[in-house]
Chains A and B, each alone.
Chain A
Amino acid sequence: MDRVRDSSASVAGEAVELVRVCRAEYRAIGRLTERLRPTRQSIRTLQTQFPHLPPSTLLSIFSQEYQKRMKRSMVRHHAPDVVKEYYQRYRSEAKTRPAAPLLLELANQVDLSPALLARLIVECFLEERQASVAASRHVLNNMLREPYLIPDLLLAKHVEQCTVNDCCYGPLVDCIKHAIGLEHEDLLRDKLRERNLSFLDENQLRSKGYDKTPDIILEVPIAVDGHIVHWIESKASFGDDHSHHTYLNEQFWSYCNRFGPGLVIYWYGFISELDCQRDRGILLRDGFPSDIVTLCQGPARSRV
C-alpha cells in the first residue's frame, strides 16, 4: 500500500522530474530485474541501483519486465502435471508447518508470481472439492479478491499473503493500476482546465460517434515544442518498446489518421529513443508539457 501513496504523492506533488531513460539504461534495468521477485524489497534494490529515477518509474518498468517474464514461463507453469505437483507440494507442506508463508516460498522457489500461483492453487482446490463442476471464473476471481471466501481458512491466509505481497499481479495490483490510470486522466483534465484549454473527453467523443477516441481532443489545437497537438493520450505506465509498439498500432496511429498530430504522455517516462515519430505526428512526453504555445487571440498579431 506504500506504493499507492507513493505514486499518488508524486502525482499530486507535480514533481516534474525529467525521466530520461535511454535504451541502454533501460536494458541495464531489465537485466537487473531478471532475477528479482515481485516484492517491495526488489523495488528497493532497484532504487539503490538507479537512484536518479523516480520509484514509480522503476516499479512500472519492473512490473512490465516481470509480466513479460511471466508470460514467457506461463506454459511451463500451466502444464497440468506441474500444477498438480505445486498443489501437492503445498498440501504436504501445509500439514507440516502451516504457519509458514508456504505459497510465497513456493512461488519464489519455482519463480512464479505469488498471485498467479495462488490462483493456480485455488483453482486446484476448487476442482478437488467439486470435481464434477469446473470452477467458474467468477467464483475464482471473487475468492482471490476476498480470500476468506475460501472455505479452507489456512489456504485463505496463504492466498492473502500472496496477493498482498505481489507487486505485479493480483486483484490488488489490478485495482491500483486502474486507479492510477484514472487518476492521471483526471490530472490531465485538471491541467488542461488550469491552462484554460477546452477539450472533448473520451465520453463526449464516443457520444458523437467517433470510431477511435483518444483521452482528450483539444477543441483548439496547441503547439508543444514546435509540434501541433490535436489530441492527448494519457498513459500511466512506462513506455517501453513492447507496450509502445502495441499502443502505436492499436491507438496512436489511428488517432493520427483521424485527428492529425498529437501528444502521448507516459507519466512514468519512456525509452527516449522511442520519441522518433514527432514529425509524423506522435510526440512523447513524460508529464504535462510546460512549454505550450497557444493560438494568440486578437488581431494584433501580424502574419509573416
Chain B
Amino acid sequence: SQTLTHGPTTPAKTPSTSRSVRTQDFSDRRGNKSTPIQTSRSAKAQQHRGRRRSGGFGGCASGRQTGPRGAVSEEGVRWDGGGRRSRGVGRIEPVSPPTQVQLNFNNLEDFPPVGAAQSPPVATKPSRRINPTPVSAERPNSKPKSCFISTPLSLPASPPAIPESAGAKLTAGSPHSLQEERELLRKERYVWAVIFSLNNIPVSMMMNLICLLSIYVHADVLEKAYLGNVHNCVYFSVRVLENQFELVSHLDKCTLRLLSENERVGTFSSSLKDHLAQAQENCTAKVSIIPFQPATDNRSNFSSDRAFHTFKKQRDVFYGFLREWEDSHKEPGWDFEAALGSRVRMMVSQLTAAGSHSHFARLFQKQLIQMCKGPCVLGSSSDAPDADLLGMLGADSLGRLKRLQQRLVQPQGLIGPCPPPSFPGHQEFFKCFLQTASCCQLNQHLKDGLCQQLLKLDEVSILGPDASPARGEETGDGDMEQQVRRFSSVLLTARLLAKFLGFISFLPYQTSELPSRDIQDTAITLRSKSSPVLDVCAVLRSSVHRRRTILTVPWIVEFLSMLDHIGPLLPFYRTALCLLLQIYKRMLLGRGGELCYMNQLLMVAVLGWLFQIPIFPEDLFFSTDLKEEVKELENITSSQGLDTLPLVDQQLLYTCCPYLGEFRKLLAAFVAGSTSKSGGLIRKITPTSAELRGPSTSRSQQKLQVDLEQAFFHNQPPSLRRTVEFVAERVGSNCVKHIKATLVLELVKGGEKTLRDSLGLEGVNTAKLNDSICAQLCDAGMQALETATRFCSENAPGAVRVLLPLETSPSVLTTAESITTRLATEKACSWLSANITTLLKREWKSAFGRVMKSVPSSVRLSAGSSCVSDCTHKVPLGSEVMIEIKSDHKPCCLMFQEVLSVAVGPRSEEEAYTVHQIESLLYRVGQTLGCRKKTDYLFLIRQLIERGLLGEEEVGTNWPKFKTLRFEAGILTNHFLMAFLVCSCRSL
C-alpha cells in the first residue's frame, strides 16, 4: 500500500531518538565519511565508536542497501553499527582505502582506561564485535562476502517502511486510542514479518532478530521515542517474534529459555510462551551411549539371573537420569538432589541388593570418558542443535568451530588466573550423581576401576620419530602428528579420571571450613595410618626417573587438586606435593631446548595453578625437602622418554589450562576500554571464509558417511576398531616406504638416464635440462597417489582379514576391509600429496649432482656446449688467459680475489680498478670462454667455486637475475662481479 512505501518522516532522524539506520538516513550521511553520527546524548561514546568504525564508512556506502530497518534503540544501533563495521572490511580491501586516523595517546576517548565505563545513558550490554576478513577481494564465487555482511542484498528497492502517518502521528504525540495504536502496530509487524520472509540471508535475519530483541529488551528506553509507550514496544516485538517463530525456534536452548521465561512474553502472548517452551523441549542433544558388549555384559558375566536383570533395568534408569539432567539442569531452580535424589538412591540400592556395582561402575566410568573427555565446552555441549551443520565441515573444522562456538557462547566474565577446580559441562552430572548416590560400594568399585585405568594410561607408550638414519626433516611419514594426537587424548582422559578419582577419594573428608588445629592433629594421626588410594609418590618418582613427567604430572595435579583440607597435611600427600614443588623448581623454561618448550610450559602452568589454589599449604613453598632426591632422580634418568618429545601443542595447553586465556581477555578488555563491570568483554573474532568444497549436499553426504563409519564400530567389539586402525596405520606407512623405495627410486633413475643421454646431444643447456627433468619427475610423481591407492587396496584387506576372527560375518568383514583400505589410502595419499614433490626434488638434486660430478668435464664440454655465434675459434686458450693473467704475476683466481677485495673495499686510491680494466679483463675471460671448442669454460667457474668465491647454488639460482644485471661503475660488489662473470661464462 502507498503508506507503506515511505519511511516515517521525523522520528528516526531526530538525534534523540537514536540513530536509526534507515536507508534514506544513511544516504544522507554518506558524504560524511569519517565523522561519526553523533547523538546529543552519547556523543562521547559515539565518537569513540565512530572513530573505530570510520574506516568502514567509505567502503560500505558503495551502492548497497543498508540493513533492515534498523534498530530503534541504542542497543540496536550498536548492533547495526557492528554491521557497518563488518562492511568496513574496506580496511583491507583495496577498493576502499581506510581513512587515516591519527591516534592521540593522550586522548581519553581514543584510549579509554581499563575500567572506564563507556558513557551511553543506556545500560550497555556486552557487545560482540565481529570483524569479518574476506580472504581476498577478487573471488567472484565466494559466498562469504555476502554472508558476513549484514546488508540484505536481496531487499526490494523500496526501503522497509512504516506507515508514514503512523510514525508522524505517533511522534506528534497526538492521542490515540489503544485500538488505533494496536492497529498501526499490527500493520507494522506485518511489514516486518514480510521483510523477514523476503530476505533469505540468514545473517541479516539474525541481525534483524537481534535488533528486534534489543527493542524488546530495551522497551522502556524507547518509551515515548517512537512506538509510543513500553507496551507498544513489547507488543510489537512479541508479535513479530510470533510471526517468525520458525526462525526463533532454532535458536539455542538458553535463549529460548530466557525468552520463554520473560514475563513480558507471557503477558502479551501466552501462546508464544507456550510455543517457546515447546521448542525448548525439542532441542535435544545426542547422548552417545556405551554399547552393550556381549563379551562383558551378557548373563555369563553376572553372578545371578537377578543381578543380570537388575542391571538391565539400571542401565536404562541411568540413561534416563542423564537425559533428564540434560533437559532440565539449566532451568532456574533445578536441583539435582531435589529432582533426582531419591530416584538415584533407589537405583543404587537396587544395585546393592543385586551386587552388580562393578558392572555399573564400569558403565559409569566409560560413559564419563565418552562424554567428558574432549575439551569441555562450558555448558554448551548439550545445546548444539547445529552440530550437524558444523559436522558437515568435517571433523577438523568441526573442532575449530566448536571452539569458536565456545568463545561465542561462554560467559566471558574473568575467572582469574587461578580458578578453583570445577566440573564443567557434563562432568557436573557425574559429580552430582556420585554425591547424591553417596554409595560406598559404588565408590569403591569406581576407585578400583579409575586407578587401574589411570595407571594403564600412564604407561601408554608413545614413540618418538624413528631413530632410523632418516634425515631429520623427515619426521617418520606423519607418524609424529598422530602420536601428538594420541598423547593429547591420553592426557585429557587421564586428567579427567584423576579428577574423579580424587573427588571420590577425598569426598568423605570434605569439610566446608578448615578444621581447628586440634581436630587437624587428630585427623592427621588417624588418617596417616591407612594407605592412600593411589601411590602417587611412587608414580611421580618413576615418571621423573623415566622422563615421563609430561604425562604424569598433569594428571597427578588434577588428582591432588581435589584434596580436602587435611589431605595436604598428611605425610604422604605432603611428600607428593613436595615432589611436585621440586619438579617445578628444577624446571627452567627453555632448558630442554625449543623442542620441548611447550611441554614445559604446560607443566609450569598446571603446577603453578595447583600451588595457587586454596588447598595448597603455603608453608610448603619454603620447604627444601626432597630437593636432593629429585635432583638425583633427574640425574639418573633414561635418555629416552616422553619429556624429550614435542607432544604438547597450543591447543592442548589451552584445553588443560583454560585460565591461560585470561591474558587474552585482559588484553582485550584493555583494548576495548571495557571491563567486566560493564557486563562482559568484547570478543574479537575474525572470520575467514572457508573454501566451499563442493555443493552442500555432497558435503552432508560425506559427513553422513563419516558418521556411518563411526557408527559401524559402535556395536562391534572394541578390538575390531583397534585392528582396523592399526592395520590402516601400518599399511599406510608401509605404502609410503614402498613408494619411496620403488617409484621414487625408479623415477630418479629414469631421470638420470635422460640426463646422461641428453648430455650426449648437441645444443643442450644443462640448467634447462635439469629443470625440465625435474618438472617431468614431479609430474610423474603424481602417479604415486595412484600407486598408493593400488597398494593399499591390494594389501589392506588381506591384512585385516587375517587379523579378524574367522567367524566374523561377511558383511562386517567387507566393511572393515573397505574402511581399512580407505584409511590407509587416505593416510598414504595425504602424506604423498604433501611431500612427494619435495622428496623427488631432493632426490633428483642429489642425483643430478652425482651425474654431473661423474661425467668427465670434457664430455660435458663437448656434449653440452656450442660456441657463441660468429666464433672464429681464434680466442686465447684458457691457459693462455691464465698465463696472461699470470703475466701480472698473479694466478687467475688471485687476480679475481684481488679484484673482489678492491671492489668490496676498503681500498686506496691507486688500487681502484677502472671499469674499463675490469671490462677488459672480463672480456678476455669471456672471449676465451665463449669459444667452447678450445676451452673448458667450466674450469674457471670450478676454480671460483673451489676457492669459495662463488657459491655453487648461486650459479644456478641466480642465473636469471644475473642475466639482467648491467655492469655499472661505482657499484661494483662481489655479487655484481660474479654476476658478470657468470654472465660472461654463460652467454658470451
Contact = CB atoms under 8 A, between A and B. Distances in A.
Interface of A: 197-198, 208-212, 217, 219-223, 226, 228, 230, 253-254, 256-261, 276-277, 279-281, 293-299, 301-304
B792 A299 contact: yes
A276 to B, nearest CB: 6
Nearest to A197: B811
B298 A209 contact: yes
Interface string B253-289: 0000000000000000000000000000010111111
Interface residues of B, number: 60
A102 B948 CA distance: 123
A219 to B, nearest CB: 5
Interface in B819-841: 819, 821-822, 825-826
A279 B708 contact: no
A66 to B, nearest CB: 31
Contacts, number: 137
B interface secondary structure, majority? helix
B717 to A, nearest CB: 12
Interface string B790-827: 00110000000000000001111011001101100110
A254 B292 CA distance: 10
Interface string B625-639: 000000000000000
A260 B291 contact: yes
Contact of B291 (A212, A222, A259): A259
A280 B319 CA distance: 12
A222 B715 CA distance: 13
A61 B273 CA distance: 33
Nearest 10 CB-CB pairs, A to B? A209-B298, A304-B394, A198-B811, A258-B292, A221-B711, A211-B312, A299-B822, A257-B319, A299-B821, A228-B711
Contacts of B702: 301, 303-304
A198 B809 contact: yes
A217 B311 CA distance: 21
Interface of B: 282, 284-289, 291-292, 294, 297-300, 308-309, 311-312, 315-316, 319-320, 323, 385, 388, 392-395, 693, 699-709, 711-712, 714-715, 789, 792-793, 809-812, 814-815, 818-819, 821-822, 825-826
Nearest to B694: A304
A223 B707 CA distance: 9
A189 to B, nearest CB: 15
A223 B704 contact: yes
Contacts of A256: 289, 319
A258 B294 contact: no
8 contacts: A198-B811, A226-B388, A228-B707, A230-B714, A279-B286, A295-B708, A298-B821, A301-B702
Nearest to B288: A260
Nearest to B810: A198
A194 B379 CA distance: 45
A230 B712 CA distance: 8
Contacts of A295: 705, 708-709, 712, 815, 818-819
Contact of A220 (B288, B291, B793, B815): B815
Contacts of B715: 217, 221, 230, 259-260
Contact of B286 (A217, A257, A281, A293): A281
Contact of A279 (B284, B291, B311, B818): B284
A208 B294 contact: yes
Contacts of B703: 304
B708 A228 contact: yes
Given A211-B298, A253-B319, A301-B822, A276 B282 contact: yes
A299 B810 contact: no
A258 B714 contact: no
A24 to B, nearest CB: 16
A101 B392 CA distance: 67
B818 A219 contact: no
Contacts of B388: 226
Nearest to B297: A211
A297 B812 CA distance: 12
B366 to A, nearest CB: 13
A211 B309 contact: yes
Contacts of B814: 297
Contacts of A254: 312, 315-316
A44 B537 CA distance: 81
B320 A253 contact: yes
Contact of B316 (A209, A253, A297): A253
A67 B978 CA distance: 104
B299 A209 contact: yes
Contacts of B316: 253-254, 257
